[in-house]
Structure 1
Amino acid sequence: MNPTDDSRTLHLLIVDDHPLVRAGIRSELSQASTHLDVVGEAATVDEAIAQARELTPDVILLDVHLPGGRGGGGAEVARALAGTNAMRILALSVSDAAEDVVSVIRAGARGYVTKTISTPELIDAIDRVAAGDAAFSPRLAGFVLDAFGTGEVAGSDDELDLLSERELEVMRLIARGYTYREVAKQLFLSVKTVESHVSKVLRKLQLSNRHELTRWASARRLV
């Protein structure tokens, strides 16, 4: 299908944990296009996987930060649906962090755009992903090229690969200045569990404290 060909109806699944966001996307797309049909919505990792398998949409608009599942967010959804050739995933998120972009693309998404995108641009991105092409907000494409196309970032990627999905989430929040208690509340964990994750992250990355962790993450554009 040509990305500009509106002759074929594309079935969409919107995955976002905020009802107003889902409603807004649905409304914008229905008013601006005649070939996009929203067939379902989901708010959690588990709902997204179940709805995708039941509805088999052409394109899944996937938020990166989602509750549920094993804490892997949008990347967990993408991995669970990997190999389902009939479905394409386009990440749609407020986050423009390199870590989020790379993790969801590695998991199988075909594109990543931020929620600052205009409606016509979003429709174009959906069409491109449905056609098998890639679609990125301009600044984000560089993250993917760095991560997959050069050896310069390979070292930091290797270090990130040492961390579990949960450890990555904890690391990102700590590096952004969240307290242990705030991280625990955000991720529905106990404070002791957060402390344990931070200790493991510091050990794996060979860092001494959270201040070094913040510098490490900032140097790699992860916060």
Structure 2
Amino acid sequence: MAAESIDVVVVDDHAIFRSGLKADLDARINVVAEAATVESAVAAIRSASPQVVLLDVHLPGGSGGGGAEVIAGCADLLASTRFLALSVSDAAEDVVTVIRAGARGYVTKTISGAEISDAVVRVAGGDAVFSPRLAGFVLDAFGASTTVSVDDELDRLSVREREVMRLIARGYSYKEVARELFISVKTVETHVSAVLRKLQLSSRHELTRWAAARRLL
């Protein structure tokens, strides 16, 4: 029996590139929507609920944040939708910015349709995928100092607070968290308040972005 196809949204501001890309993707990939701007991308992703988003880094619209802004606008979906950056740029700043936002990989437009298809499948399966040499930018940016910083922030939280934090960041309701951890809703509320205070955050949305940026989802 053939494997199920992977639903993908293609986000790029050049219609000709989107058409060519769709033609080059193999039968494992099912393009369910396209978008050309930050705003239309967020709307399309929320409507289509794809497994993977092929995302250009530089896009018109929004507040100028491009692909990273699209990911931020879908931060609550990161547990189920994975973002793979696809760009002509191989600049370290572009790579690091979009990975910090929550992308699971970054490939350049010089790769073939077969390679992009393989990258989509791998990202859908939970892998991180990078074009050659780009991974070095990520290792440099998320090296020992970053790891220490994240560990220091997590050390402020109790084991239970970490469990609650991850579930809330994945989009669970207070009732769902309570049921998952066998605690009361009131206790969940208390833990969430403590987490927000300790991490100096003001809302569930900020908590989701904080967790996604640190790959804690």
- Counterpart position of 1:53: 46
AA in 2 matched with 1:137: S
- Counterpart position of 2:121: 127
1:21 corresponds, among 2, 17, 20, to 17
Unaligned runs of 5+ in 1: 155-223
AA in 1 matched with 2:18: R
Output aligned runs, 1:64-213, within 5 Å: 64-84=57-77, 85-151=79-145
- Structure 2 length-normalised TM: 0.65
SS of corresponding position for 2:39:
helix
CA distance in 1, matches of 2:22, 2:104: 21
- Counterpart position of 2:196: none
The RMSD of aligned alpha carbons is 1.8
Structure 1 residue ranges (4+ consecutive) displaced by more than 3 angstroms after TM superposition: none
Unaligned runs of 5+ in 2: 149-217
When residues 67 and 6 of structure 1 are mapped into structure 2, their CA distance, relative to the original with a 3 A threshold, is farther
- Counterpart position of 1:38: 31
Q: How many residues align?
A: 146
AA in 2 matched with 1:23: S
When residues 151 and 17 of structure 1 are mapped into structure 2, their CA distance, relative to the original with a 3 A threshold, is same
Deviations along 1:151-188, one digit per CA (max 9) or x if unpaired, are 49x9xxxxxxxxxxxxxxxxxxxxxxxxxxxxxxxxxx
CA distance in 1, matches of 2:68, 2:76: 14
- Counterpart position of 1:9: 5
- Structure 1 length-normalised TM: 0.63
The answer to whether the Cα contact below 8 Å between 1:6 and 1:34 also exists between their aligned partners in 2 is no
The answer to whether the Cα contact below 8 Å between 2:24 and 2:114 also exists between their aligned partners in 1 is no
SS of corresponding position for 2:13:
coil
CA distance in 2, matches of 1:53, 1:141: 29
> 1:6 deviation in Å?
6.3
> 1:68 deviation in Å?
0.2
AA in 2 matched with 1:7: A
